[in-house]
Amino acid sequence: MHSKWIRIIMIVLMSLFPFFSYSLTADAASSTFVTKGSTTSKVVALTFDDGSDGGNITKILSILKSNNVKATFFLTGAGANNHPQLIKNIATATPTHQIGNHSYTHPDFTKLTAAQMTSELSKTETLIKSLTGRTTKPIFRAPFGASNSAVLAAVGNAGYTKTIQWNIDTTDWKGISSTAILARVVPNVVPGSIVLMHTGVGAPGTPVALPSMISQLKAKGYKFVTISELLQLPPSGSKTYTVKSGDTLYKIANLYNVSVSALAKANNITNYNLINVGQVLVIPGTTPPPATVTYTVKAGDTLYSIATKYGVTVTALASANKITNVNLISVGQVLVIPK
């Protein structure tokens, strides 16, 4: 009897709300698996995966700066916890590098549930945002490069529209020499190549190989770009909207006071009637305010320790959060970190 009434209710709902049946079956857009850029231009993306130690970050940033080369760093939550200042250094370095999500604990995503994958991504995103004020979206790199359709669906649903693999693996994590790294990269780079390297002390050959790698590729006419530049993705500062059940392009355009044609053009949409639930649309002509850096108070924290962590004064931190008693903060309290 119970299941009979559930079926009757479902039929009534679908008859009253036609979109209801659609929402039950519509899938969010899966993340696109990318191994290289589709281009004939001589551009290459240098990418660095950051693990728990990040021992070579300072050297790598220095080399990139001295050669005016942009790169993309895929960050882990574990790494951000272990070396938060180095993560900040990546985010504020010159030239401007891109950051992406590489999970929190570096597990094999093909062995996780969708909920576990989402948790890994969201925890890392929250931590990186609290440190840098920047998002890791829309790019994700799977730990160990392990991916399948279930992984792509889950990470796409979490807002990571591109899962970034590579077409050149330096295997630097094996501790190979700089000469061996160069031999794997320089002769094999083609337009649109994505090169995989690592930031840890377990890859000592990378900072040694990097200056020569850059100079040799420049001599071949290559320019260095971020992943977003390589794939011509919208800037991370652009405002986006994730399509929901019942949405139309007209409705979304009206919501943001832009024309339907401008919205369609910004997202390469040729059929105004065809948008998908979970699709992430760029809103033309909009830029959100800079992200606010926040910190969630943990057991053992003091206002002084938090202020020191972020390089601000206790007075400024207290003022920004309207705290009158600097000795009174609560676990779980979210503090705004003053600029």
> How do residues 4-50 score in pLDDT, each as one tens digit?
454 445 444 444 443 333 333 334 579 999 999 999 999 999 999 99
Collect all residues with Cβ–Cβ distance below 8 Å to 20 and sequence separation of at least 6.
13, 14
Cis peptide leading into residue 138 (ω within 30°): yes
Tokens of 87: 């993560």
Crossing angle of helices 2-16 and 18-25, in 10° steps, is 110
Q: Residue 205's pLDDT is what? A: 97
Give SS3 for 16: helix
pLDDT score of 285 = 64
Q: What is the pLDDT of residue 82?
A: 95
What local confidence, expressed as pLDDT, does residue 235 receive? 64
Contact 60, 214 (CB under 8 A): no
List active site positions: 49, 198
Q: What confidence score (pLDDT) does residue 278 get?
A: 79
Would you state the pLDDT for residue 6?
45
pLDDT given at position 28: 54
Q: What is the secondary structure of 196-217 as a DSSP string?
A: EEE-STT-THHHHHHHHHHHHH
* pLDDT < 70 regions, the chain: 1-28, 235-238, 285-292, 339
